[in-house]
Amino acid sequence: MAESKKTQNTESKLSSPDSMSICDSTKQMLNKAREDNVETAFERADTMKACPIGADSACCKHCSMGPCRLNPKDPYGKVGVCGATIDTIQARNFGRMVSAGAAAHTDHGMSMLDLFRKVVKGEIPDYEIKDTAKLLEVAASVGIQIEERSIQDVALELYEELVLCGVIYYAEGQPAGFIVGDELNEETFALHFAKGKREFRGIYEYMFSTFAELLPRRYRLLNFEQDLGIEALRKAKSAYNPDYLMEKYRLSLK
Ligand code: SF4
């Protein structure tokens, strides 16, 4: 009896599958899952009672001296063991959530791009580009010439365009640095430009490490491009303890 009352209470908390998404096929899937008693993230979210301290982002477990729990009802009453105030803890929690979320989505996007490249190069014969009109539309939208060219040609150029990626870093509400790079080969990603405001100490190290985290795992190497033989540049690049330096040659016909 108690069990059936509990089940009724749980069911009354659940949102209707039709209110969970604006996508018809997703609604269909969710209705089917509900009929078959398959639990989804939507049901778990409906029945999950959030931790009141976590909901206010007043908890920190970024180091082994914690977890530190501040009181959301008296936010400035105490600080974490390291001295972090509620403002620091909330800002850090937010920054980490954004970075982790962005990294997860970037990885999906880059995986799709990998697949796209392999399809275009004929390395995965089981897939093909079916919606060529969409491909041409997307290519034209980023300035790629589409007239009198094969679909494969356009797709390859689009891949090269899409694999070029960069990040702008903000600090104190202002752009503090940016980084741009693209793929050199299947296992190497080249960083073309990185500029950061020197007043933010450590910004280059921060940009390089967070950008590297965003890249797909298949890249084994980051290429920092040439140092032009300039001593200061060589020194700065060597500070990152590179795996190796590669000599570069220029060939010309006699
Ligand atoms: S508040 Fe400071 S001491 Fe506490 S877990 Fe976070 S980083 Fe560690």
Residue 75 Cβ contacting ligand 1 at under 6 Å: no
Q: How far apart are CA 155 and CA 136, in angstroms?
A: 8
Residues in the chain, how many? 254
Which atom of ligand 1 is found nearest the CA of 83? 2
CATH of the domain at 178: 3.40.630.30
Instruction: Please report whether residue 130 resides in a domain.
Output: no
92-137, pLDDT tens digit by residue?
Answer: 899 888 878 877 777 788 788 888 888 988 888 888 888 999 999 9
Distances in Å between the Cα of 221 and the Cα atoms of 53, 180, 184, 231, 244 are 41, 16, 10, 23, 10
Q: Is there a single domain that holds both residue 111 and residue 174?
A: no
Instruction: Please report whether residue 62 resides in a domain.
Output: yes
136-152, pLDDT tens digit by residue?
Answer: 999 999 899 999 999 99
Domain final position from 57, 80, 115? 115
Most informative mutation of 59, 62, 78 for ligand 1 (most atoms within 8 A of CB): 62
Residue 62 Cβ contacting ligand 1 at under 6 Å: yes
Hey, whose CA ends up nearest to atom 5 of ligand 1?
66
Give the pLDDT of residue 2. Answer: 53
> Does the pLDDT value for residue 1 go beyond 70?
no
Most informative mutation of 57, 61, 65 for ligand 1 (most atoms within 8 A of CB): 65
Domain that holds residue 81: 42-115
138-196, pLDDT tens digit by residue?
Answer: 999 989 999 999 999 999 999 888 888 889 999 888 899 999 998 888 789 999 889 99
Which secondary structure element, helix H or strand E, spans residue 220, and what is its range?
A: none
Q: Is there a single domain that holds both residue 109 and residue 171?
A: no
Number of domains in the chain: 2
Instruction: Please report whether residue 181 resides in a domain.
Output: yes
Domain final position from 92, 115, 138? 115
Hey, whose CA ends up nearest to atom 6 of ligand 1?
60
Residue 120 Cβ contacting ligand 1 at under 6 Å: no
Which atom of ligand 1 is found nearest the CA of 88? 1
Which atom of ligand 1 is found nearest the CA of 89? 1
Instruction: Please report whether residue 16 resides in a domain.
Output: no
Instruction: Please report whether residue 153 resides in a domain.
Output: no
Instruction: Please report whether residue 220 resides in a domain.
Output: yes
Dmax (CA) of the chain: 95
Instruction: Please report whether residue 53 resides in a domain.
Output: yes
Q: Name the more confident of 218 and 200.
A: 200
- Is residue 108 classed exposed, middle or buried when 0-12, 13-18 and 19+ CB atoms within 10 A define those classes? exposed
pTM beyond 0.75: the answer is no
52-96, pLDDT tens digit by residue?
Answer: 898 899 999 989 998 999 998 899 999 999 999 999 999 989 988
Quote the Cα angle for 182-186-189, to 5°: 30
Instruction: Please report whether residue 157 resides in a domain.
Output: no
Domain final position from 82, 100, 115? 115
